[in-house]
Every structure is written in structure tokens, then in C-alpha cells.
Structure 1
Amino acid sequence: MLSLRQVHKAFSTPQGELPVLNGIDLSLDEGESLALMGESGSGKSTLLHLAAGLDVPDQGSIKIDGQNLAQLDDAARAQLRCHQLGLVFQQFHLVPSLKVIDNLRLQARLAQREDPEWTNHLIHRLGLSGRESVYPEQLSGGQQQRLAIGRALAVRPRLLLADEPTGNLDEQSADTVLGLLLELVAETRCALLMVTHSARVAAPLDRLVRLKRGHLQDEPA
């Protein structure tokens, strides 16, 4: 589902080029979940942004479901994100002027893939039944993150990319959100790549890799 081969990425600084990723090889199969860990500034979010087609590598190839992102222009990569990817971030990025139900439907409607039955199922599974007509600011942090996860999964993506999805939550809310995320990922059979700084959050996932000095190291999950 996701394949990175010999991916390199560096950024320009006043002191010169700063290498961040040095020959990254990574594969993720359909239905597989992978935790990506590493110290702050190690390049975890950079790798995730490259996998989402939000940035391009200096060298190497990135393929999603066999499509090489380097062969797609900006518009085609945006279409791929809309139809094939789900994105969840530490910040919820909900639309404050839209009600809960409209936030949930947003990506699926943009992709013209809304399924009312699946939407109703998600509302129930997210624990937001009866809250469809309220606005995000009227929800708790945990509820907002659950809604953000539901929005990403409403399109039934092939690949879900999550960047510290529980980072803004207290421990109890984080456990609830993580459990729900993994259950819904299992229902949709999408692949999951999740960036986290927490070994506790990484533990339930199928595999764990650690990014260190621009290289990936496999570790026991």
C-alpha cells in the first residue's frame, strides 16, 4: 500500500544543507499498522508529509497503491489525497463554522464518495449521536479528535496517516481515542502509519520503527 525506496530529504539552513532523511526504505501492507517513533526533530513529520504527497523527496521513490508520487503533478497528488488518503493531526483542524455532521461529511463529499449508512455508523461509533448539530467548540478535546478521525475515515481511505493523534489529550482520552482509531482502521482494512513519541501509544500497533539520524531501525512492537 505504501512503499518508500531510498528516500532522501534535506533542508537549506544558513549553515548549509541539513540532511533529515538518508536513504529511507519503508513498506506498509494493506490492513497493517505501523508506529513511527523518534526524537523531536528527527524527521518523523517530514517523512509523513512526504508519504502524503505534501512535499517531494530530493531522491528516491514513494508509491501509494502502486502509484509513483513523482509521476503525479500537484493536482493529481491532491486528488489522490482526497480519494485514497486519510490525514489526522495533533491539532484537530476542524472547520469551526461547520456543524459536527458537516465536518464529518466534508472529505467524503469533496471526493463524491459519501455513504449515508457509513456516516451514520461513524456517528454512533464516535460517540457523537445527538451531537450532530453542535459546533466543534462545543465538544471536548477527545470528542474533537474522534470527529477528526471520523472525517478522515468517512471516505474509506486505503491509507491513514496520523501525526501524534493523541498528543493533545489526557491519558484517559488518549486511550479512548487510540482504541477507537484502531477499531475503525480494522473495520475499513486501511493501512495505518502513525507518528508518536509514546511507546505506550505505539504498543498496540503491528510494527514499530524508530527514526534516528536519518535512518530507520526496526524494533519489536
Structure 2
Amino acid sequence: MLDFCDVHKAYPTPQGPLRVLDGLDLRLAPGESLALMGESGSGKSTLLHLAAGLDLADHGEVLLAGESLARLGEPARARLRRESLGLVFQQFHLVPSLTVADNLRLQARLAGREDAEWSAELLARLGLSALARRYPEQLSGGQQQRLAIGRALAPRPALLLADEPTGNLDETTAGEVLELLLDLVRDTGCALLLVTHSAQVAAPLDRCERLSHGRLDHDPRAARP
């Protein structure tokens, strides 16, 4: 589903290039869930941006659903994002002028895969059916995050990328949101790449890897927190 092959990425600084990823190799199979851990500044967000085609590697190859992102123009990468990817971040990025129901359907509409029955099921499972006509500002933080997850999964993407999806929530709400996220991921059959600082969040996923010095630490003692 997702392949990083000898990927290098650096950013210019006044002191010279800052090497973020250094020959990174990663493979995520269809339907597999992977937690990616690492210290702040270790390159986790850069890896997600490369996986989504929002940035390109300096060297090496990133393949999404078998497509080499570097060989596609931006319009083609945008199409691939719409059709194959769901994105969930700490910042919910909900559209304030749209209702809960319309926010949830937005990504499916953009992908040309709106499914009224699936949207209704998502609203129910997210606990948002009674709030469907409200606006994002009228929701709690946990409700907004559940809505962001539902919007990402509404088109039934092949891959879900999640960057600290429970980082802004209290412990109880975070646990509830994570459980719901993993249930929905399993039911849709999509692959999941989740970035987190929390060993507790990483524990239920199929695999855990640590990003260190621009590469994955494959030591099995470090792979599972």
C-alpha cells in the first residue's frame, strides 16, 4: 500500500542542509496498521508529508498504491490523495460554515464516492447523529476529532494517515477516540499509518517502529514500546 525505498530528505538552513530522512525504508501492507514513534524533530511529520505527496523526496522513491509520487505532477498527486488517502491531524481542519453532516460528507464528495448509507452509519457510530445539523464550533474537542475521523473515512480510503490524532484530548476522551478509530479502520479494511508520542496509543496497532537519525530502528526490542 505504501513503500519508502531509500528515501532521503533534507531542508536548507543557514548552517547548511538539515538531513531529516537518511536512506529510510518502510513498507506498509494493505489493511495493516503501523504506529510510528520518535522524538520531536525526528522526521515523523516529514514522513507523513512525503507519504501524502505534499512534499517530494530528494532521493529515493515513495510509492502509494503502486504509483511513484515523484513521477506524478501535482494534479495527479492531488487526485491520488482524493481517491486513496484519508488524513487526520491534531488540528481538525473542519469547515466552520458546514454542518456536521456536510463536513462528514465533504471528502467523499470530492472523491466522487458519496454513500448516503455509509455516511449515516458513520454519524451513528461516531455518536454524532443527533448533532448532524450543528456546526463545528458547537461541538466539544472530542466530538470534533470524531467528526474529522469520520470525514477521512467517508470515502473508504485505502490508506489513512493520522498525525497525533488524540494529542489534544484528555486521557479518557483520547482512549475512546482511538478505540473508535481502530474499529472503523478494521471495518473499512484500510491501512493505517499513525504518528504518536504515546506508547499507550501505539500498543493496539499491528506494528510499531521508531524513527531515529532519519531511519527506522528495526531492533525488535525497540519496535514494540
By the TM > 0.5 criterion, same fold? yes
Find the counterpart in structure 2 of residue 93 from structure 1: 93
Counterpart code for 2:97: S
The CA RMSD over aligned residues, in Å, is 0.7
Distance 1:4 1:55 in 2: 13
Query: C-alpha displacement at 1:111, in angstroms?
Result: 1.2
1:24 partnered with 2:24: yes
Distance 1:170 1:27 in 2: 32
Query: C-alpha displacement at 1:166, in angstroms?
Result: 0.3
Query: C-alpha displacement at 1:64, in angstroms?
Result: 1.1
Counterpart code for 1:197: H
How high is the sequence identity, in percent, across the aligned residues?
69
Find the counterpart in structure 2 of residue 206 from structure 1: 206
TM-score by length of 2: 0.97
Distance 1:25 1:13 in 2: 25
Find the counterpart in structure 1 of residue 224 from structure 2: 220
Distance 2:224 2:197 in 1: 16
User: Alignment length, in residue pairs?
Assistant: 221
Deviations 1:26-65 (A, max 9, x none): 0001110000000001110000000000000000001111
TM-score by length of 1: 0.99
Q: How does 1:42-191 map to 2 (within 5 A)?
A: 42-191=42-191
Q: Secondary structure of the residue that 1:39 maps to in structure 2?
A: coil
Structure 2: gaps of 5 or more residues: none
Q: Secondary structure of the residue that 1:194 maps to in structure 2?
A: strand
Runs (4+) off by over 2 Å:
none
1:4 partnered with 2:8: no
Query: C-alpha displacement at 1:220, in angstroms?
Result: 2.5
Q: Secondary structure of the residue that 2:12 maps to in structure 1?
A: strand
Structure 1: gaps of 5 or more residues: none
Q: Secondary structure of the residue that 1:130 maps to in structure 2?
A: helix
